[in-house]
Amino acid sequence: MDPVKETYLNFLNSDQGVEIYRKFKDILYTKRDILTRDFIDGEIIKKIAENWKGKKEIYICDIGGGDGRRALEVINYIQSKFRIKCHLDLIEPSKSFISRIKDYKIPKNVVVNCINKRFEDVKFSRRYDLVLLIHSIYTFKGNQTIERAISLTNKNGYTVFIGNSPDSFLAGLKKLVDRTYNSERYELYNVEDYLVSKRSLFVKKSFATVCRISKRDYRASVDGVLDFISMGSYQKLDGESRSKILDYIKSKSRRSNDEVVIKEDEVALIIPNVDRRKLEEKMLYELRMNLKSKGIDVLLVNKIGEGSDIAELKNKKIKINKNSRDKLSILFTMAHLYGHLVQFNSSGYYQRLTKRVKPPFPLKFSDGFKQKFKEYEMEAMRIGKGLMLESFDLDYETDIKYYIFMETDFKHYWNYVTTGKKGSIRDFNLLLLANYKKWDKSKRTIDPIFLDGKIFVKKNFSFSVD
């Protein structure tokens, strides 16, 4: 095992290490544990728990769950929403840590099974509805351990990893400390890279916790954080290393009159055990229902009509030729058209812009006009992404493919505008499919635009995609 991983494991297997960790957690996340509160209040666990309506019991596995407090907080939330029996398997290699579960009240209708072993050494006889790994992967040997954790969920179950963002306050602090070991802890970005390399289905969500320390307690609080991150060895570091660490903390802190504020960026990777095809069907359904709630009907038809091969938006009705695109691209087309609906019913600028791009083609335009037209298309796609995020969680692969769809669609259309050569639906789909296949080589996405209020559609409004 790498030196830093072995040191970390041994540190948390001691009474001293456990006390230092608890002190650290109270400093950075407060005694209320704002990390768990944000995990629950930020809709992550809420959306997962919606899948358990009607179930009489669920099984949860908390890997590296320490004293069990965070898992019990999650269970408390679940039981506040549903009358459901919860079975918790708490896996924790530290005997000192796992013995502290007695400090907390076990809710009624909850069965807790404490397993005092390393995750890699546990033999499992069942599958789970929820597997939690909250800041608990740092000693993992590698990707095979991640694969084992993911394999523990039953059908429609979820695996949830939570850890530091690679650019966060704690991530940078750990890098400075780990240099003294010439090795690194296993981090959440390693998990993400592995999931992408395996083309796994997962949702990535970012959130932040904010720590407020009074200036009076600043020195003691910094010492408490460093004592844990360095695994009790901060005072043994050479003067130059300690100086760099203190400078780093200062650069990451925001100071006001009477307090110091430290923001910690967190990331959750949510891996559902579902079939991608069924997920795409569900996303299509939920987007259509969301549009219907806005007074917009979506019809999937075999043929559109004169002047439109792919899709048409007329007044409050979207028609899409279901034979012209795959399901995912139909989803993106719905979102895209909604974006244009918003644009054309909110500003006359878009009508003036698009009036210049009318057949017959080819037409000549300056690079400046091309950029303005692309920005108009991007804005429509951003509004469409906001609509999708209103409707469902957007998984990592679909998010990137949405950007690929936007880029491919614009290049294809602009080539038609400037050359007069209209590619066939088949040619476009082949090009799009080839670009989709390379999604794991890209990390490009677009920021969503969320709208407030209703959209008032003008009479006789129409827009087509051909």
The percentage of the chain sitting over the pLDDT mark of 70, rounded to a whole number, equals 95
Distance CA(267)–CA(334), nearest Å, equals 29
DSSP string, 157-219: EEEEEEEE-TTSHHHHHHHHHHGGGTS----HHHHHHHHHHTT---EEEEEEEEEEEEGGGHH
**pLDDT confidence of residue 466:** 63
What's the helix, strand, coil split of the chain in %, to 5?
A: 50, 20, 30
**pLDDT confidence of residue 246:** 93
Burial environment of residue 100 by CB neighbours within 10 A (0 to 12, 13 to 18, 19 or more): middle
**pLDDT confidence of residue 458:** 58
The ranges of the chain annotated as CATH 3.40.50.150 are 3-272
- The single residue listed with the structure tokens 């608890």 is 22
Handedness of CA 411, 414, 419, 423 (dihedral sign): positive
Distance of CA 251 to the CA centre of its chain: 27
- The single residue listed with the structure tokens 């080589």 is 441
Tell me the pTM: 0.91
348-352 average pLDDT score: 80
303-320 average pLDDT score: 79
Among the four given CATH numbers 3.40.190.10, 2.60.40.1180, 3.90.79.10, 3.40.50.150, the one describing domain 3-272 = 3.40.50.150
Beta strands in 286-403, from DSSP E residues, in sequence order: 297-301, 311-314, 317-321
Helix (H) or strand (E) holding 86: strand 85-91
Strands 153-164 and 259-272, how do they pair? antiparallel
Q: ω into residue 362 within 30 of 0, thus cis?
A: yes
**pLDDT confidence of residue 463:** 61
180-205 average pLDDT score: 94
Cβ atoms of residues 2 and 187 within 8 Å = no
The answer, yes or no, to whether residue 304 has pLDDT greater than 80, is: no
Distance CA(264)–CA(354), nearest Å, equals 44
**pLDDT confidence of residue 236:** 87
The answer, yes or no, to whether residue 459 has pLDDT greater than 70, is: no
7-55 residue pLDDT tens: 999 999 999 999 999 999 999 898 888 888 777 776 788 888 888 888 8
Cβ atoms of residues 176 and 241 within 8 Å = yes
